[in-house]
Amino acid sequence: MGLVKRSNTWWMSFMYQGQQVRRSTGTADKRVADAILGKVKVQIIEGRFFEKPEAQHRTLKELMDRYANEHAARRANHRRELTSIKNLKTFFGNPTLDQITPKLIVAYKNQRYTDGVKPATINRELATLKKAFNLARREWEWCTDNPVCRVSMEKENNTRVRWLTVEEEQRLLAVAAPWLRELVVFAIYTGMRMGEILALTWAGVDLFRRTVTVFRSKNGERRTIPVNSTVLDLLKGKYAARQGTIDIVFHSESLTPLDGSNIRRALTIALDIAKIQDLHFHDLRHTFATRMVQAGIDLYKVQRLLGHKSPIMTQRYAHHYPESLREGVDALEAGRSFSTNLAQVQVLSGEASLSH
C-alpha cells in the first residue's frame, strides 16, 4: 500500500482480492491522505472493505472539468467545446459516471431538439461527451464503458453551400469595421475556419515562404496553406503594427483574443447594412472553395487546401465547374467524328472500286 501524488491530489494504491486498486483520496493534504489510507487498511483487515468501480464515485462534473482543463483548452475550437460542456452540465446535472446511460443521452438529444438546436450542434455536443468518456476509460481509468458509443449520431444536412459573389464582397467590405474587414478578407482568401484563424500565431506565419500553418485543424492534423499577395500584404501590415510580444495574429484593440460571438454579431450588423442575406462566417470558407473550383482548380487541390480528410466533403463544389467535364464529352465527340470519317472513306473506296 502507498500514496502517490498526481497533479495536486494524493492517490492510494493497494491490493484487494489479488487486484491492484488505485483510488484518489480527494485531498492535497498528505496527513489527511495518510488517514484515509489507514482507514482503508483497517476495513480490508476487518473484511468491511468493498471496492466500488471508479465510475460509481466519479461524477460528470469531475469528468467535464478535467476534460476542459486538460484537453478542450488546447483545441482550436475550445470556445465551442466550452459551450458544449456548459450545455451538457446543465442537462445532466452531476450524476456519477455509471448513471449516464444511453437512454439518458437520448433524452438529452430530444431536449436539445425541443430547444430548437440543429442536428449538427447536437452531434458536436455528443462528440465532446464521447471524447471525455474515451479519455476517462482509456487513460484515467475512471470507467470501463463509453455509453455515448451506443447512441447513434444525428443525420446532418450538409448540402448548404452559400458563397459571396464578388459584388457582395465589395459591399460587405465597404461597411465592415477595419478589424472585421481583415478577418473577412483572410477567410475568403485562405479558406480557414474561424477557430483556425483566431488560433493563428506568428509562429505559424512565414512571410518569406508566403505560407500560414494551421498546427491543429478540426480533424487534428497540421495543414500549411500558401497565401496570395492580398493576404501577404495584410499579414505584413499586421506584423509591422504588432505591439509588444503578443503572439496571436488577430486580436482585439486591448490585445486580447477575439471572441467568436462578437465576430458573428459584428458580421450580422455589417451584412444588414450591406443588404446581404443568409450568410454565416463559415460561408466565407465556402466562398474560397467555390471560387477555386470556378477558376478550374481540380478538386484534389481544393481538398488539400481545405484540409478535408475525405474527397466526399469536397465533392459538393464539383457542380460549380461543369467545364472540367467537357473534356470527357468532347472526347466522345472526337471519337464519333473519327468513326464517321472512317465510314465515309470506306464508302468512297467502295464506290471507286465499282467504277473500275
**Each residue's pLDDT expressed in tens, for the chain with a length of 356 residues:** 688 887 788 888 877 667 677 777 778 888 988 888 888 788 777 776 555 567 777 899 999 999 998 887 666 567 788 899 999 999 999 999 989 999 999 999 999 999 998 898 999 999 999 999 999 988 888 888 899 999 999 887 766 678 999 999 999 999 999 999 999 999 999 999 999 999 999 999 999 999 999 987 776 678 999 999 999 999 999 999 988 778 999 998 888 889 888 999 999 999 999 999 999 999 999 999 999 988 888 888 999 999 888 888 888 887 776 665 566 566 666 655 544 554 555 555 555 454 45
Sheet containing strand 223-226, strands side by side: 205-206, 211-214, 223-226
Whole-model pTM?
0.59
Backbone phi, psi, residue 308, to 5°? -75, 130
Residue 253 burial (CB count, 10 A): 7
CA pair distance 18, 270, nearest whole angstrom: 67
The continuous run of DSSP H or E covering 11 comes out as: strand 9-16
Query: DSSP 3-state assignment of 23?
Result: strand
C-alpha separations of 13 from 10, 25, 43, 59, 161 in Å: 10, 10, 15, 21, 55
